[in-house]
Amino acid sequence: MKAVWLENQALSFRRDVAEPALAAGEALVCVRLAGICGTDIEMSRGYYPFSGIPGHEFVGEVVAAENAEWIGQRVVSEINIPCRRCALCLRGYRSHCERRLVIGLRGRPGVFAEFVALPLANLHRVPASVADEAAVFTEPLAAALQIQEQVALRPSERVLVIGAGRLGQLVAQTLALTGCELTVAARHPHARELLEKRGVRVIEVSQIPERQMDVVVEASGSPQGFALARQAVRPRGTLVLKSTYAGEVQAHFSSLVVDEITVIGSRCGPFAPALRLLENRQVDPLPLIAARYPLEEALPAFEQAAQAGVLKVLLQP
């Protein structure tokens, strides 16, 4: 089959990758659309030493499975494949399984290919009313919703999102549903325009306040974003980190202690609520799509996705 290949921080397109073999309890999924995210770009820069097929945001159709009821179903998939036996799994923390595999990131081929094999336990059916172009956003939308799983947000909370890129836009749309006093710091005119059309207050990075915000979500994807987030959060406030970076980030930990800041790492989130928001059209990701490329043109697709201000670039096998 055709697939994108990542090895030694170099991407290539291959036409001769073996189709995946199915293990017990797995389905063969034909990939209909896949999205390039910030983590995929950071992977190509050395964020994690992965070799193989990258990619984890997608919508596909089941073409083979032990359970025939799945065949023909449009699906999305959670990206963590847990062992379901270790202490963390038994406590319900399956996304932190001690032996977990991660689709397109850790020990498991990803979705930038014609086909992918996935455990049936990971799959979620896509409602008929949700188009492929919306369903492909399920995984990052779930990641955005994870913030609300971790932080109790009241309407009186002053919440700031640093970064209005691929993930920051979805974070803003989901946080706006809570009724909180939401502000987003955005650099690029198109990102600002999308948020303002949805009634979200947008400020320039230079306007970020000092020590005033109850909750600050860092979703910029840049190390500078952490410094800006730290600047904005009030004493005893909460700092939510959504970005992953290649390399290290400088932090002044003494000030975090003195100001008693709660720091929360936030990663994968719940798929079922994400699909409900798409089905009910409470979140609209379609304006985030910047371009769509055939799989054969994955390399120029990655180049466009890595440009400043570009939002979602899709690959179509």
Note the pLDDT tens digit of each residue in 263-306: 999 999 999 999 999 999 999 999 999 999 999 999 999 999 99
Which CATH number is 3-137+285-316 given? 3.90.180.10
Describe the strand order of the beta sheet including 101-103 as a list of residue ranges. Answer: 80-81, 101-103, 107-108
**pTM of the entire structure?**
0.94
Question: Are both 3-137+285-316 and 141-265 of the same fold?
Answer: no
- The pLDDT of 96-122, averaged and rounded, is 96
Residue type for position 124: H
- Statement: residue 47 has pLDDT above 80: no
196 by DSSP, 3-state: which? Answer: helix
Q: What is the DSSP code string of 75-111?
A: EEE-SEE--S-SHHHHTT-GGG-TT-EEETTBEE--S
Percent of the chain with pLDDT strictly greater than 90: 90
Give me the residue spans of the domains in the chain: 3-137+285-316, 141-265
Q: What are phi and psi of 242, to 5 degrees?
A: -105, -10
**Going by CATH, does the domain composed of 141-265 fall within 1.10.390.10?**
no
Confidence band for 110, pLDDT divided at 50, 70 and 90 = very high
Tokens 């950071």, residue located: 42
pLDDT of residue 279: 98
pLDDT of residue 49: 81
Q: Give CA–CA dist 216/121, Å, rounded.
A: 34
